[in-house]
Amino acid sequence: MTTVRTSGEDAPASKPKPPKSTKAKILDVVRWVAILLVVGFAAKQLAANWGEFWRTLSDVAWQSSVLSLLALVASIMVSTWGWQKMVDDLGEPVGYARGAQICLVGSLGKYVPGSVWAYLLQMELGRKAGVARARIFTGSLIQLGVGVVSALVVSLLAAPAVFSNSPRAMWLFVLIPVGLALLHPRILTWGTSLVLRILRRPPLAHPLGWAVVGKVFGASTLAWALQGVHLWLLANSVGAPGFSGFVLCVGAMAVAMTVGTFAFILPSGVGVREVAQVAVLTASGLTVGQAAAFAVASRVMFTVADLLTAGFAAGAARVAARAAAA
């Protein structure tokens, strides 16, 4: 495939860097302040639920807790791989290490009320790494759309529990055939270019292909499944869900994360995600109290996993940059 850029030029990796201007130094300070701010918001949310988190984990075998956290970390890394493949398709390959730094550190912006901050931070980190802002935004936009359709499909696993607790949720599943149709590369290319034109950005420079759409869809689906494993490992520790509960947990996480995504005013969909999780967990045999406790524990573990993966990605990218400069 011929490599094409969406807009602007990605900075050549081989050119020596000129001395930083005052504007560049100010932007560096602003980026660091933004990163510290989003980490602070994440830490605040972590502290607010820490007591309930430990009380819940006291009833869970440590092996289940560790495996549950590892499943979350794996889901984040898989999702990041899908994002990186999408961004790579839009221009010169950024590679997983650099892509993970941009995606994971930037995604911490979701902990600031108004999830738009995650996309803004990703674009700024991308620009810092020499990748055009428009390319980062376009990759994130497409991954979001594909991920939502994937979540709607996976959420069918929790359909019985969702419908019994909230009949109005039927509209979610009506959207599935529409969403799948929109994933056709020609339609997805047209729709993405339309959104970019509305935002006064250049349209896609080349049409999307089945291969990249399939990779993003597959990565999103696997990420939902791993998040379901995370919730099931916690809930199964009390002996209630079993295998049928595992299927429900996978569907529950897909529903919860999708609903949380659209609750953009709240930091990381706080509150909305838990309602969906509790609804499905109670249908699998847990009491309301147990379900609520596991939902809170899940949110805390998500925050821990986000901070761990973002920190590891930032450190790995820095080590790679130093090795390249040596």
Q: Quote the CA–CA distance of 283 and 169 in Å, as a whole number.
A: 15
Low-confidence ranges of the chain (pLDDT < 50): 1-9, 11-14, 25, 265-266, 268-269
User: Which pLDDT score, from 0 to 100, does residue 299 have?
Assistant: 81
pLDDT at 150: 92
Query: Which of 44, 48, 99 minimizes the C-alpha distance to 76?
Result: 99
AA identity, residue 148? V
Per the CB < 8 A criterion, the answer to whether 236 and 64 are in contact is yes
- pLDDT for 199 equals 78
Cβ neighbours of residue 48 closer than 8 Å, sequence gap 6 or more: none
Q: Which single residue is written with the structure tokens 């995504």?
A: 261
Decide if 227 contacts 72 (C-beta within 8 A). Answer: yes
- The count of other CB atoms within 10 Å of the CB of residue 194 is 11
The confidence score (pLDDT) of residue 183 equals 92
Distance CA 104, CA 97 (A): 10
| pLDDT value, residue 166 | 58
Q: Say what the pLDDT of residue 126 is.
A: 87
One-character DSSP codes across 175-227: HHHHHHHHTSHHHHHHHHHHHHHHTT-PPPSS---HHHHHHHHHHHHHHHHHH
pLDDT of residue 185: 92
Q: Which of 215, 210, 211, 247 is nearest to 231 (CA)?
A: 247
Reference 260, options 118, 163, 115, 83; nearest CA is 115
> What is the C-alpha separation between 2 and 11, in angstroms, rounded?
18
Q: Angle 167-172-177 (CA atoms, 0-180°, nearest 5)?
A: 130
Quickly tell me which residue has 């990163």 as its tokens.
Answer: 35
Q: Give the pLDDT score at 143.
A: 92
- CA-derived radius of gyration, the chain: 20
235-274 confidence digits (pLDDT tens): 877 665 667 778 888 888 887 777 766 655 445 445 566 7
Q: How far apart are CA 253 and CA 246, in angstroms?
A: 11
Residue 188 CA, chain-centre distance (Å), reads 20
What is the predicted pLDDT for the residue at 260? 61
Counting beta carbons within 10 angstroms of the beta carbon of residue 200, is it exposed (0 to 12), middle (13 to 18) or buried (19 or more)? exposed
